[in-house]
Amino acid sequence: MAISTPWRRLLAIPPRAASFAELGFAPCDPAVRGRLERVLETFIYGYNLSLSIDDPELLAATLNGQLDAHHVGFAFEGVGMYYALCDLLAPWRPSRLRAFLEGTGRDHDIIAAVGAGFALAWLPWGRWLWPSYSRRLDPLIAWCLPDGYGFAQGMSKSQRFIAGRAPPPAVLPPFARQLFDSGLGRSLWWSQAAEPRRIARAIDAFDAPRRPEMWYGIGVAAAYAGGASDADGTLLELRDLAGPYRADFLSGVPFATRMRQKGRNPSPVTDRASALLLGRSADEASDWIVATLERVLADESVPREIRLRDSYLLARRRLVEELSRRDER
């Protein structure tokens, strides 16, 4: 489905939307801001390029050829938003997002599906479509949508969802609200400029039941995106500031390593976070989450539908238990 020029103009996201000033974020260290804005610019680039290149194979090849390994995943996240918009605006057609995730984009399926959650936030009626739309996707990947939805709301509506601590939309079932909070927590990496004390204060202002997922989101962002001025110092300070949610924070690292291992886009940022925080190589951490997920899916004491739908939450819970036992020793 080619997009006509008028539609491209209507759907395109201006590059300035990546700026902290445009997003209403507080001033911060220029170097940190530049690195974090570049991630957002790459997301927008991937999204806008999708409007111009209709062939998914050519689109993926262009992104892989133009972008470095650290940033290319964020461009695929933007692609995921575009294909989800195509689906939501033309629900009678076969899902372009599913075809992409199971085809050309399969190596970046997790981050692309997270990007699809942005479409739910962008369309005023998006949240009402989530239950039916998620059923069109593989349940092992559909969990990413409410996570991406939460991230998008934290970025574009920080006054409401961060400063005002608004709850996740009531239309989301309990498991999806948890996922919304992990994305909301990840957005703090940008809105609080990767500054540990600002991040900790922001999370502490939320009710205690919402904090574990938010600390997990910070773990993913710190290990996948990076961008802090003192990377090692920031990671260690976050680990300490997480306090009772330390294992939740650490559990985000294997998810970051898995996205890079599957996407074949390794980054020194992720390698260092895994070594420093987990004492494992990025590949070892990735293999750990894969093995944990396999055990979750094989656990017949849990109904199959729940195993599939809650695979992420169940796997993360097991990681947290293992990390907590490790800290007790």
Question: Does residue 9 lie in a domain region?
Answer: no
* Residue 182: partners with Cβ closer than 8 Å, 6 or more residues away: 147, 150, 213, 214, 216, 217, 220
CB 146 within 8 A of CB 119: no
197-206: pLDDT as tens digits: 999 999 999 9
Amino acid in position 52: S
CA of residue 118 relative to chain centroid, distance: 10
Cα(295)–Cα(301) distance, integer angstroms: 11
Annotate 75-127 with DSSP letters as a single string.
HHHHHHHHHHHHHHH-TTSPPHHHHHHHTTTGGGHHHHHHHHHHHHHHSTTHH
Question: Does residue 4 lie in a domain region?
Answer: no
Residue matched to tokens 């036992």: 325
**Residue 37: predicted pLDDT:** 98
124-165: pLDDT as tens digits: 888 888 888 988 999 999 999 999 999 999 999 999 999 999
Cα(99)–Cα(194) distance, integer angstroms: 35
Q: How many domains does the chain have?
A: 1
For residue 33, give its domain range: 19-322
The total number of residues shown for the chain amounts to: 329
Question: Does residue 278 lie in a domain region?
Answer: yes
Ordered mean pLDDT values, 10 residues apiece, the chain (329 residues):
62 94 94 97 97 95 98 98 93 93 96 96 87 90 95 96 95 93 98 97 98 98 96 97 98 98 97 98 97 95 92 94 84
CB 259 within 8 A of CB 73: yes
- Identify which of 226, 230, 233, 229 has the alpha carbon closest to the alpha carbon of residue 253: 226
- Return the H-helix or E-strand segment holding 258: helix 246-263
- Identify which of 315, 263, 320 has the alpha carbon closest to the alpha carbon of residue 294: 315
Question: Does residue 164 lie in a domain region?
Answer: yes
CB 238 within 8 A of CB 203: no
Cα(285)–Cα(49) distance, integer angstroms: 33
Amino acid in position 295: R
Query: 174-191 and 30-52 are packed helices; what angle lies between their axes, rounded to 10 degrees?
Result: 120
Question: Does residue 260 lie in a domain region?
Answer: yes
Query: 109-122 and 144-156 are packed helices; what angle lies between their axes, rounded to 10 degrees?
Result: 50
CB 257 within 8 A of CB 222: no
Question: Does residue 7 lie in a domain region?
Answer: no
CB 100 within 8 A of CB 136: no
pTM exceeds 0.75 = yes
Question: Does residue 12 lie in a domain region?
Answer: no
Question: Does residue 10 lie in a domain region?
Answer: no
